[in-house]
Structure 1
Amino acid sequence: MRRYTGSLTVELEDVNTGVVETVSETNMVTNLVNDLLGMNPMGLFYKCSGQYDDMMVWNDEMLPICPNMIGGIILFPSALTEQAGNIYPPSSNMPVGYASNDVNATGNVKRGSMNLVESMALADGYKFVWEFTPSQGNGTIAAIGLTSKKGGANLFGSDAAVDTTLLLLRQNSLDLTVDWLNTLFRAIEVDFENGLLYSIAYASNTVTVTRYRIPIFDVGLNEKLDDTTLTLEDTTVLQCSTFRFYGSYTPYGIFLDGGDGYWYGFANQANSSGNATMLWIKIKKSDMTFTEGSWTLSNAHLKAVGSFREDSSYPNTQRNAVLRNGYLYVLGYDNDGVYKINIANPTDITFLSFGFTSEAKSICTSGSCEVRLMMIGDVIIGYDFIIDVSDRVEQTIGGTRMSNNLATPLFRYKEFLVGWGGSYGNEYRYNFLFTPYLATICNLSQAVVKNADKTMKITYTLTEQVVSS
Structure 2
Amino acid sequence: MKLKGTMVLKLTDETTGEVESVTEENMVTEAVNDILGMNPMGVFYSEENLADVLSWNGTLLPICPNMVGGILLFPKTLEEDAAHIYEASGNLPVAYASNNVNTTANTARGSMNQTESKALENGYKFVWEFTPSQGNGTIAAVALTSAQGGQNAYGSLVGDASTFLKIKKLDIGDLGKAKQEVLFEAAEVDFEKDLLYSITFADSSVRIRKIRIPIFTIGLNEKLDDSTYTVLEDHAVPTETFLFLGSYTKYGEFLDGKDGYWYGFSNEGNSSGNARMLWVKISKADYSMTEGEWTLSNAKLMAVGERDMENTYPERNCRCCMRGGYLYVPAYNKKGIYKINVANTADVTLIDFGFTSKMKPLCESGTCELYLTLVGDLIIGGDFQVTADDTVIHTQGSARLGSAATPLFQHKQFLVGWGGSYGNEYRHMYLLTPYLATINNLSSAVVKDANKTMKITYTLTEEA
TM-score, structure 2 as length reference:
0.98
CA distance in 1, matches of 2:48, 2:314: 22
Letter in 2 for 1:401: R
In the alignment, structure 1 residue 55 sits paired with structure 2 residue 53: yes
Give 5+ residue unaligned stretches, structure 1.
none
Give 5+ residue unaligned stretches, structure 2.
none
Match of 1:231 in 2: 230
Q: CA deviation at 1:166?
A: 0.5
- Equivalent pair of 1:212/1:230 in contact (CA under 8 Å): yes
CA distance in 2, matches of 1:78, 1:398: 27
Q: CA deviation at 1:390?
A: 1.3
Q: How does 1:46-445 map to 2 (within 5 A)?
A: 46-50=45-49, 53-174=51-172, 175-402=174-401, 404-445=402-443
Q: CA deviation at 1:134?
A: 1.1
Letter in 1 for 2:331: G
Match of 1:455 in 2: 453
Q: CA deviation at 1:117?
A: 0.7
Q: CA deviation at 1:163?
A: 3.2
Match of 2:10 in 1: 11
- Equivalent pair of 1:181/1:314 in contact (CA under 8 Å): no
Letter in 1 for 2:82: A
CA distance in 2, matches of 1:291, 1:178: 31
Q: CA deviation at 1:350?
A: 0.6
**Could you say what secondary structure the match of 2:327 adopts?**
strand
Q: CA deviation at 1:312?
A: 4.8
Letter in 1 for 2:205: T
Moved over 4 A (4+): none
Q: CA deviation at 1:337?
A: 0.7
CA distance in 1, matches of 2:79, 2:321: 27
Cα deviation digits, residues 83-137 of structure 1 (max 9, x gap):
1110011010111111101111111111111111111000000000111111111
Letter in 2 for 1:367: G
- Equivalent pair of 2:270/2:302 in contact (CA under 8 Å): yes
Kindly tell me the number of residue pairs found equivalent between the two proteins.
463
* Percent of pairs with identical residues: 57
Letter in 1 for 2:408: L
**Could you say what secondary structure the match of 1:288 adopts?**
coil
**Could you say what secondary structure the match of 2:175 adopts?**
coil
Letter in 2 for 1:14: D
CA distance in 2, matches of 1:284, 1:118: 58
Cα deviation digits, residues 367-398 of structure 1 (max 9, x gap):
00011222211111122111111111111223
- Equivalent pair of 1:72/1:152 in contact (CA under 8 Å): yes
Letter in 2 for 1:234: E
- Equivalent pair of 1:255/1:265 in contact (CA under 8 Å): yes
Q: Structure 1's 228 and 378: CA in aligned 2 closer, same or farther, altered over 3 A?
A: same
**Could you say what secondary structure the match of 2:61 adopts?**
coil
Letter in 1 for 2:179: W
**Could you say what secondary structure the match of 2:115 adopts?**
coil
Cα deviation digits, residues 226-245 of structure 1 (max 9, x gap):
11111111111100011111
Letter in 2 for 1:456: M
**Could you say what secondary structure the match of 2:64 adopts?**
helix
**Could you say what secondary structure the match of 1:89 adopts?**
coil
CA distance in 1, matches of 2:330, 2:203: 27
Q: CA deviation at 1:222?
A: 0.9
CA distance in 1, matches of 2:259, 2:336: 26
CA distance in 2, matches of 1:413, 1:150: 19
Q: RMSD of aligned C-alpha atoms?
A: 1.1
- Equivalent pair of 2:159/2:398 in contact (CA under 8 Å): no
TM-score, structure 1 as length reference:
0.97
Cα deviation digits, residues 31-62 of structure 1 (max 9, x gap):
11111111111111112351x62100000011
- Equivalent pair of 1:215/1:225 in contact (CA under 8 Å): yes
**Could you say what secondary structure the match of 1:300 adopts?**
coil
**Could you say what secondary structure the match of 2:231 adopts?**
strand
Q: CA deviation at 1:343?
A: 0.9
**Could you say what secondary structure the match of 2:227 adopts?**
coil
CA distance in 1, matches of 2:10, 2:120: 22
CA distance in 2, matches of 1:199, 1:434: 24
**Could you say what secondary structure the match of 1:263 adopts?**
strand
Cα deviation digits, residues 263-293 of structure 1 (max 9, x gap):
1001000000000011111111111111111
